[in-house]
Chains A and B, each alone.
Chain A
Amino acid sequence: KAGVTQTPRYLIKTRGQQVTLSCSPISGHRSVSWYQQTPGQGLQFLFEYFSETQRNKGNFPGRFSGRQFSNSRSEMNVSTLELGDSALYLCASSFSVAYEQYFGPGTRLTVT
């Protein structure tokens, strides 16, 4: 079974720009979560989608948004990039709540 895939793997953007990251979950998984990982803050929850509905959102500004499509694929968008947005963005998929989440390899975003 193919794992969670994320594209692109690496991205370099300039302050003020916007970026869209993509995630394809494991086949059959309908829940997709996004996390930000930085050396200082560790892994922090961004949001979770199930059947195209956002069910939970972390403490991030409105510049961070996401969506899920009918095939469970998900995208997250960050607008007006700031230097502090440089991080590894991880997507995880799960069959349902309380089941283990499987992570993708992440997208390394660098904002200059």
Chain B
Amino acid sequence: EDQVTQSPEALRLQEGESSSLNCSYTVSGLRGLFWYRQDPGKGPEFLFTLYSAGEEKEKERLKATLTKKESFLHITAPKPEDSATYLCAVQASPDDYKLSFGAGTTVTVRA
């Protein structure tokens, strides 16, 4: 069974204090790894898709990287508006269409 573990569970940062979130996964054949951001009471918002080890994607202050066992979401010089829960999900191959999600990391950025 696919397993996705995110750490830490919660992260409190000062504005401008860079940090990284970890997503480790166990899946029989990775089709894709996805990062989402979720604000309270809303649906997850898509951020990145990573398909193969060594791949990197960037968007504003966020950068996602992928290895064979884990993915990192780096937040550079965060602002209060980056406060949210960040979710990692994997999609296995070849016939599994579901996303298996981790429990998420809740990030709070203080001004």
Q: Which residues of A contact B (CB under 8 A)?
A: 4, 31, 33, 35, 42-45, 48, 50, 55-56, 58, 90, 92, 97-106, 108
List the count of A-B residue pairs having beta carbons below 8 Å apart.
Answer: 59
Shortest B56–chain A CB gap in Å is 17
Q: Which of B42, B49, B91 contacts A105 (CB 8 A)?
A: B42
Find out whether the CB atom of A90 lies under 8 angstroms from the CB atom of B96. Answer: no
Q: Please, could you name 23 A-B residue pairs with CB atoms under 8 Å apart, sorted by A?
A: A33-B99, A35-B99, A35-B101, A42-B103, A42-B104, A43-B44, A43-B87, A43-B99, A44-B101, A45-B98, A45-B100, A48-B98, A50-B97, A56-B96, A56-B98, A90-B44, A92-B43, A92-B99, A98-B32, A99-B49, A103-B36, A105-B43, A108-B41
Find out whether the CB atom of B34 lies under 8 angstroms from the CB atom of A98. Answer: no
**Chain B, interface residues (CB within 8 Å), range:** 20 to 34
Find out whether the CB atom of B96 lies under 8 angstroms from the CB atom of A42. Answer: no
Residues of B within 8 A of A58 (CB): 98
B45 contacts A by Cβ under 8 Å: yes
> Bound complex: CA of A44 vs CA of B91, how far in Å?
13
B31 contacts A by Cβ under 8 Å: yes
